[in-house]
Every structure is written in C-alpha cells, then in structure tokens.
Chain A
Amino acid sequence: DQQVKQNSPSLSVQEGRISILNCDYTNSMFDYFLWYKKYPAEGPTFLISISSIKDKNEDGRFTVFLNKSAKHLSLHIVPSQPGDSAVYFCAAQASGGSYIPTFGRGTSLIVHP
C-alpha cells in the first residue's frame, strides 16, 4: 500500500502561471518531507524540504506547504517557467524509523511557453 501518494500523474501549466503539485501521505510517523526534481536521462535532484514543525518553507519561486492534520503537502511554483518542466517526486521520512525516504510515484509537469 502506498504511503506517499501523488495522485496526479501529469500537470500542464502556462508559463508565468502558478503550478501546484500535491502529495498525500498516510503514515503519521513521517515528520520530514522533500521534493525532488528529475529531468529526462538525469538523476533526481533535491529541490526543497520541510519539517513537520513548520507549515511552510520558501526558496525563491518554490514554496512547500504542509497540512499535518490532512496529511497533505503541496509544492507551489510561481511563476512557472518552461525550464521547470520535469518530473517532481515527493518523499517522506520518519525520525523514529529507519529514516529511509519513501517516494511517491511522481508528477510530470509541463510548462508551456
């Protein structure tokens, strides 16, 4: 059973608009969350993270929001750029466990010029 779910396999957005990528988790032990970005034929790269003691973390155009009660997090990209077109993976870790991250299946974002 998936503990980290990215229910939208793909998302298409116009350049300059906001992209919102969603991620849901089921394990209440998860307390640290990360987003990775992956271009074709390359390995994933770290984008942004958030600890469960926060509800928002911002880095330039990227903001991650965490709603612990809903077990939901989202990644906002504003404004979206064509270079943001990639697959985005959500990952979650638990301090009290093995710390090994659990990944979602990814969302493919396409930003149209």
Chain B
Amino acid sequence: DAGITQSPRHKVTETGTPVTLRCHQTENHRYMYWYRQDPGHGLRLIHYSYGVKDTDKGEVSDGYSVSRSKTEDFLLTLESATSSQTSVYFCAISGLAGRDTQYFGPGTRLTVL
C-alpha cells in the first residue's frame, strides 16, 4: 500500500468555523490531489498540486484553499465551513501526471452542522 495518511479521519464542526485537513505521504510523489465524494456525484477534484508551492484549482474549488510547503504534506482548508461542505474527502498522490495511477488515502469524513 502506498504510504498516504489523512488526518483527522473524522471531524464534526460548526458552520462558520475554519477547518484544515492534512494529507501526508511517504512516497515522495510529485502530484497530490484533494477530492470530495458525495452521493450521486462520484469523485470531484477540489485542488491539486504539481510540486512544492505549485497548486491549481479543480472543478469544485470554491470555499477551499490549499497549501503545500513540503513534498510530503498537502493541506486543505475550509476558511469558513458550510453545511454544503459536509462530505468525505480523499487525498490522492501520483508520481507523474498522465500515465500514472493515483493512490488514495483512507478519507476524512467531515460533518458541518
């Protein structure tokens, strides 16, 4: 199994509070991604990173920001959580874009009340 951990694994928070999710890898992979999974929507890309300090938006980036100060860590921040951000969040890594499969973390279940 690829070395990817996510923390926390579960979180309950209140509307309007800031939340940060962490993804940590031990594979030294260049690319890191944040997805959310919702019923009927599959996996939707929030943000991704193609190197330290290099990030770009995905299809559902509104309300989220990311940072990558080290190869191994990719942080996802909800500046002011809303109930619509209740979801399961997955981090993924890949060594190369294109012909490279992604390895996913175990997920973080976030509930915003």
Chain A contacts with B in 70-113, Cβ cutoff 8 A: 89, 93, 95, 98-101, 103-106
When distances are taken between beta carbons in the complex, the residues of chain B under 8 Å from A51 are: 99
A98 CA / B48 CA spacing, docked (Å) = 11
Contact A105 B106 (CB under 8 A): no
Q: How large is the interface on B (under 10, 10 to 19, 20 to 34, 35 or more residues)?
A: 20 to 34
- Give A66 to B53 CA distance when docked, in angstroms: 37
Number of A residues near B (Cβ < 8 Å) is: 24
Stretch at the interface among B12-20, B39-47, B62-70, B75-83: B39-47
Is A34 among interface residues, defined by CB-CB distance under 8 A?
yes
- A49-B104 in contact given A43-B90, A89-B42 (Cβ < 8 Å): no
| B61–chain A nearest beta-carbon distance, Å | 13
Main secondary structure of the interface of B (DSSP, over half): strand
- A67 within 8 Å of B (CB atoms): no
A27 to chain B, nearest CB (A): 14
Q: Is residue B101 within 8 Å, beta carbon to beta carbon, of the partner chain?
A: yes
Closest CB-CB distance, A2 to chain B, in whole Å?
A: 9
Interface string of A42-78 (1 = CB under 8 A from B): 1111100101000000000000000000000000000
Which of B42, B48, B90 is close to A100, meaning CB atoms less than 8 Å apart? B48
- Say whether, besides A42-B107, A43-B105, A44-B90, A103 and B42 are in contact (CB < 8 Å): yes
B107 contacts A41, CB within 8 Å? yes
A98-B97 in contact (CB<8A): yes
Docked pose: A95 CA to B101 CA in angstroms? 14
Closest to A41 in B: B107
Smallest distance from the beta carbon of A36 to chain B beta carbons, Å? 8
Report the Cα distance A75→B103, complex, angstroms.
Answer: 20
Complex Cα gap A99–B44 (Å): 15
A63 CB to closest chain B CB (Å) equals 18
The chain B residues found within 8 Å of chain A, CB to CB, are: 4, 33, 35, 40-45, 48, 56, 58, 90, 92, 97-99, 101-107
Nearest 3 CB-CB pairings of A with B: A43-B104, A99-B97, A105-B42
On A, residues with C-beta under 8 Å from B are 6, 9, 32, 34, 36, 41-46, 49, 51, 89, 93, 95, 98-101, 103-106
